[in-house]
Amino acid sequence: MKVCIAEKPSVARDIAEIIGAKQRKDGYYEGNGYQVTWTFGHFCTLKEPHDYTEQWKFWRLEDLPMIPSSFGIKLIENDGVQRQFKIIEQLVQQCEEVINCGDAGQEGELIQRWVLLKAQCTAPVKRLWISSLTEEAIREGFQKLKDAAQYNNLYAAGSARAIGDWLLGMNATRLFTKKFAMGKTVLSIGRVQTPTLAMIVQRQKEINAFVSEEYWELKTIYRETEFTATIDRIKVLDRAQKGLAYLKEHPFEITSFERKEGKEGNPRLFDLTALQVEANKKYAYSADDTLKYVQNLYEKKLVTYPRVDTTYLSEDLHPKIEGILKDLTPYAALTAPLLAQPIPKLKTVFDDKKVTDHHAIIPTGIYPSGINLEEKRIYDLIARRFIAAFYPECKIANTTVLGKVGQVEFKATGKQILEPGWKEVYANDVAPKKEGEEEEKILPVFTAGESGPHTPRIHQGKTTPPKAFTEATLLRAMETAGKQVDDEEMRELLKDNGIGRPSTRANIIETLFRRKYIEKRKKNIYATQTGIDLIDTIQTELLKSPELTGIWERKLRQIEKGEYAMETFKQELIQMVIDLTIEVKTANYKVITVTQEQPPAPEEKEKPKKESKPKEPKKAVVIAEHACPKCKDHPLKKGNTAYGCANFKVCGFKVPFEIFGKKLTDKQIADLLTKGKTGKMKGWKLPGTEGEIEGKLVLSPAFELVVEK
């Protein structure tokens, strides 16, 4: 008997139907020499610290770093998982061969390998590797089953990723929480999550620090065309007015007229990140939602495997393209021109060197029935992008006109679409745009040397701050390790160094939302004060650098290709965790208050100690009368948890109502602001230290709060 293990019950049902295992049993299907069973996602996980030793159950600095001699796995604590696993265990221990039918990707490989490892499988293992769940693809896959050993490097990369995330996440989270956090707050650190948050915080600080400035530009209208002066923006209104007076004294003269014809290349086929970006731009769908919708389409056999990071197809797919286009009957009007001639084998579409385990996301050709609105929209994006890839390029004409008024030079540019080409696919829709792409603007024909009257004016504007991240721009930043890249070829080259994998980026963003490190206002993503405080706490650049995280990602991809040893990667991470622990343990203490409490970490139980209560002042002290001691330009304001500078977003100064386990009275806060310190008090609880101490709360020259004995 051959045992097939799928990743979901629905996939198992489809496979069983196709290979003839039609008899339903408890937890599997049977027939025709096959037993088809299933997992439902992750059944196993790496063991937790307390599974290795009781000592690691408690969060103590002296126990760090936690480095297991070898990493083990365990079943997830879930009754359904435990029950289904027992069925799988019995089947694989009695069979002659196992066929791994998990999702054909790194995560799918890891899920199934861990299950087989836990079940102590000794039977030979084959691998079903397919890019879609259509009947044709499954039949073809079973005719070409691979030896499981061909995917050992993929499994090694998945294991290395999981171990790396465990080593850094478990150790760094406990390390920073015990060293820097107050009370029951947890400072969550992750290999991908922290550099992603660092990018958002950096952008937030740039926005907060931005000071808008007014400027003026000289413009004029000649022959119903607006021209803009090419001189630098004018910072003083008086100068602009003098410039306007000068323009009124001279006619407008054309000095150059240039019209160049060119082409706009077709949009690339979708990888997962590009699809998430487009769905966020067009429908404001989150990355996580888009992944769910496209995964549903894949399981309904409507599109190919979605968790991919390539925009190319393998060359052997070229003969199948015509059939897929013919089957896209809802788009018959768009596919008809393509089917009237042979499908071109375009280098921008077909390239075996750019395809690894899977190709770009494309429709399978099955008619899209029985899907909801969100899935229809995602399907439509994929189908139109697929059709547009085979259309002719869009032909355009770019026009540049130069002129002058006296000695002041002017410029106008325009763009005209000569042949829409692939843009016809989006005739009743909005065609996907590249960054900075101009709208179509047709200019009249000018002749160098012509001259005439014009209507000059002053345009007043304001400089604008950097744009906040949206999920679309954040995904792109993660893909390119924080580099601003608009060119698609260059973006393709940087993918090996991106932060995270296409399949995990959505989950990383959702994790940051869940932990309240970031928040969404309309489509924009902002760092919360909690997120800013966390990144400010982390002085180790390694933990928050997108570039360095990208280097780890490249090594994981090299492991996948057999170009780097998993054990080497693991030892490098172990050494990094050891070095990080030493560095943070011995670091000079710096106070960072986290403004929102996270779920509590497991702690040793201690008896509560009595706290000395300072006497309340007889007279109320009005803190708001005090100026901010840091910027000295703004008053202090009372918030929900602290007094802070009225210009807090730029200045950043605040004094919490409660710090180091003690509530401060208005009198103590006033002393801190006027004298730079409070009186001596007992009961301070400093992070990273045992027990309570006596001392004064002091405002340091760097405007940080410290306790001096």
Which residues have C-beta within 8 Å of that of residue 51, sequence separation ≥ 6? 72, 74
**Selection from 664, 627, 659 nearest residue 646 by Cα:** 627
Q: What is the rounded distance in angstroms from the CA atom of residue 682 to the CA atom of residue 692?
A: 7
Specify the pLDDT at position 72.
95
DSSP one-letter code for 259: E
C-alpha pair distances (Å), 501 with each of 262, 272, 527: 36, 10, 22
Q: Which two tokens stand for residue 530?
A: 């909690």
Q: Which of 267, 265, 487 is nearest to 393 (CA)?
A: 265
- What fold does the segment set 2-144 form as a domain? Rossmann fold (3.40.50)
Query: Could you give the residue range(s) of every CATH 3.40.50.140 domain in the chain?
Result: 2-144
What are the tens digits of pLDDT across the range 248-306?
999 999 999 999 999 999 999 999 999 999 999 999 999 999 999 999 999 999 999 99
pLDDT of residue 673: 79
User: What residues of the chain score a pLDDT lower than 70?
Assistant: 183, 430-439, 482, 484-496, 587-625, 633, 649-650, 687-691, 701-702
Q: What is the 3-state secondary structure (H, E, C) of 512-541?
A: HHHCCCEEEECCEEEECHHHHHHHHHCCCH
| ω into 635 cis (within 30 of 0) | no
* Among candidate residues 308, 320, 422, 325, the one with its CA nearest the CA of residue 360: 308
Q: What is the pLDDT of residue 635?
A: 77
> How far apart are the C-alpha atoms of 685 and 660, rounded to whole Å?
5
Q: Of 502, 504, 496, 503, nearest to 480 (Cα)?
A: 496
Please write the tens of the pLDDT for every residue from 524-577.
Answer: 999 999 899 899 888 888 888 887 788 888 898 899 999 999 999 999 999 999
The CATH homologous superfamily to which domain 214-266+394-462 belongs is Topoisomerase I, domain 3 (2.70.20.10)
Considering the domain 272-388 in this protein, what is its CATH number? 1.10.290.10
Task: Write down the pLDDT at residue 488.
Answer: 61
Enumerate the CATH 2.70.20.10 domain ranges in the chain, comma separated: 214-266+394-462
Cβ atoms of 473 and 253 within 8 Å: the answer is: no
What's residue 586's pLDDT? 80
Catalogue the active-site residues. 305
Write out the H or E segment, with its range, that includes residue 405: strand 394-405
pLDDT of residue 274: 93
One of 1.10.132.20, 2.120.10.30, 2.40.30.30, 1.10.460.10 is the CATH number of 161-208+468-585, namely: 1.10.460.10
Phi, psi at 172, each rounded to 5°:
-70, -40
Give yes or no for a contact between 15 and 30, defined as CB atoms under 8 angstroms apart. no
Residues 6+ away with beta carbon under 8 Å from 430: 282
Tell me which H or E stretch contains 265.
none
Alpha helices in 340-431 (DSSP H): 373-388
